Structure 1
Amino acid sequence: MKYFICIFALILTLKVQSQVVSNNTQLQNAISNATAGTVIEFADGTWTDVQLSINVNATSTQPCIIKAQNPGSVFFEGRSNISIGGSYIIFEGVTFQNASGLITDGDKIEPIIEFRDTSNNDCVNCTVRNIKIDSYNGTASQETLKFKWIVIYGEYNEVSYSSFIGKNGVGSIINDNHNNSTPDYSRIHHNYFADRIPVNNDVNGLNDQDAIRIGVSTTSLSDSFTEVYDNLFNNWAGEVEIISNKCGSNKYYNNTFRDFQGTLTLRHGNNAEVYGNYFFGNENTFSGGVRVIGEDHKVYNNYFEGLRYRKPNGSGSSATGAINVSNGKPNSELNEYYQVKNSEIINNTIVSCDLGIRVGTAINSALTLAPENLVIANNIMLDCSDSALQEITAPIGTSNYQGNITQNGSWDLTNGTNSNQTVASGLLTSGTDFYRLALGSDAIDAGVGSYSYLTKDILNGDRDANLDAGAEEYGASGTVGPYKVSDVGTTIGFLAFNALSTSANEVKESKMKLYPVPANKELTISQDNGNIGTITIYDTQGKLLLRQNIDSNTSTIDTRNFAPGIYILKTIRSSIQFIID
Structure 2
Amino acid sequence: MTSIYRVSNSDELAAAIGRAEPGSTILLADGVYDRNEDYIIKGKAGSDTAILSIRAENKGKASIVGESSIHILNSAYVEIWGLHLQVERRESIILDGSRHVRIARNRFEPRQVGAEYSLLSVVGSGSGWNRIERNEFGPKADPGPLVIFDGDGEQISQHDVIEYNYFHHISPRVVNGLEAIRLGLSGISLSNGYITIQHNLFEECDGEPEIISVKSCYNTIRYNTFLNSAGQVTARHGHGNRFHHNVFIGDGVKEEMGGFRIYGNDHHLFDNYMENLTLDALLIDGGNYDGGPDGYPGSPTQEELRKHWRVYRAHVTNNTIVNCRHGITLGKRIPYAPEQCVVAYNLVCGKDQPAIYEYRPSPAVCINNQKADAEAIRRPAILTRTDVGPDSD
Settle same-fold status: TM greater than 0.5: yes
Q: Of the two, which has the highest radius of gyration?
A: 1
Greater RCO structure (CA 8 Å; 6+ sep): 2
2: distance between equivalents of 1:89 and 1:22? 20
Q: 1:330 to 1:391 in 2, by over 3 A?
A: same
Correspondence 1:58 to 2:46: yes
Deviation at 1:328, TM superposition (A): 1.4
Name the counterpart of 2:341.
Answer: 374
1: distance between equivalents of 2:160 and 2:368? 36
Name the counterpart of 1:48.
Answer: 34
Correspondence 1:394 to 2:353: no
In the alignment, residue 327 of structure 2 is paired with which amino acid? G
Please give the residue correspondences for 1:297-308 in structure 2 after superposition, counting only pairs within 5 Å.
297-308=267-278
- 1:137–1:168: 8 Å Cα contact kept in structure 2? no
Please give the residue correspondences for 1:431-580 in structure 2 after superposition, counting only pairs within 5 Å.
431=378, 434=379, 481-485=381-385, 487=386, 491-496=387-392, 499=393
Deviation at 1:428, TM superposition (A): 4.7
2: distance between equivalents of 1:372 and 1:268? 17
Aligned length: 373
Gaps in structure 1 of 5+ consecutive residues: 1-12, 103-108, 117-121, 310-320, 408-424, 435-458, 460-480, 500-581
1: distance between equivalents of 2:22 and 2:60? 26
Gaps in structure 2 of 5+ consecutive residues: 292-303
1: distance between equivalents of 2:355 and 2:344? 13
1: distance between equivalents of 2:377 and 2:317? 22
Name the counterpart of 2:235.
Answer: 266
Deviation at 1:356, TM superposition (A): 0.4
Correspondence 1:133 to 2:103: no
Deviation at 1:180, TM superposition (A): 2.1
- 1:356–1:384: 8 Å Cα contact kept in structure 2? no
- 1:373–1:400: 8 Å Cα contact kept in structure 2? yes
Name the counterpart of 2:168.
Answer: 194
- 1:352–1:385: 8 Å Cα contact kept in structure 2? no
- 2:256–2:278: 8 Å Cα contact kept in structure 1? yes
Q: 1:327 aligns with which of 265, 283, 286?
A: 286
Correspondence 1:94 to 2:93: no
Partner-residue secondary structure (3-state), 1:20 = strand
In the alignment, residue 221 of structure 1 is paired with which amino acid? L
Deviation at 1:128, TM superposition (A): 0.9
Partner-residue secondary structure (3-state), 2:351 = coil
Partner-residue secondary structure (3-state), 1:77 = strand
Please give the residue correspondences for 1:156-171 in structure 2 after superposition, counting only pairs within 5 Å.
156-171=129-144
- 2:92–2:108: 8 Å Cα contact kept in structure 1? no
Q: 1:358 aligns with which of 303, 315, 329?
A: 329
Partner-residue secondary structure (3-state), 1:72 = coil
- 1:292–1:340: 8 Å Cα contact kept in structure 2? yes
Root-mean-square deviation (CA, aligned residues, Å) is 1.7
2: distance between equivalents of 1:73 and 1:148? 22
Partner-residue secondary structure (3-state), 1:371 = coil
Name the counterpart of 1:114.
Answer: 94
Between 1:215-224 and 1:384-393, the stretch displaced more is 384-393
Q: Deviations over 1:503-555 (max 9, x none)?
A: xxxxxxxxxxxxxxxxxxxxxxxxxxxxxxxxxxxxxxxxxxxxxxxxxxxxx
The percentage of counterpart residues that share the same residue type is 27
Q: 2:9 aligns with which of 15, 20, 23?
A: 23
In the alignment, residue 194 of structure 1 is paired with which amino acid? H
Q: Deviations over 1:155-207 (max 9, x none)?
A: 11121100012111211110001332265111111000011112xxxx3x330
Name the counterpart of 1:208.
Answer: 177
Correspondence 1:175 to 2:141: no
Q: Deviations over 1:477-515 (max 9, x none)?
A: xxxx21123x2xxx310132xx3xxxxxxxxxxxxxxxx
In the alignment, residue 52 of structure 1 is paired with which amino acid? Y
1: distance between equivalents of 2:78 and 2:208? 33
Q: 1:195 to 1:330 in 2, by over 3 A?
A: closer
Name the counterpart of 1:124.
Answer: 99
Deviation at 1:386, TM superposition (A): 4.1
Deviation at 1:429, TM superposition (A): 2.8
2: distance between equivalents of 1:81 and 1:484? 30
2: distance between equivalents of 1:95 and 1:70? 11
2: distance between equivalents of 1:182 and 1:171? 19
In the alignment, residue 352 of structure 1 is paired with which amino acid? N
Partner-residue secondary structure (3-state), 1:334 = helix
2: distance between equivalents of 1:219 and 1:96? 29
- 2:329–2:359: 8 Å Cα contact kept in structure 1? yes
- 2:150–2:157: 8 Å Cα contact kept in structure 1? no
In the alignment, residue 391 of structure 2 is paired with which amino acid? L
2: distance between equivalents of 1:248 and 1:158? 19
Partner-residue secondary structure (3-state), 1:87 = coil
Q: TM-score scaled by structure 1?
A: 0.62
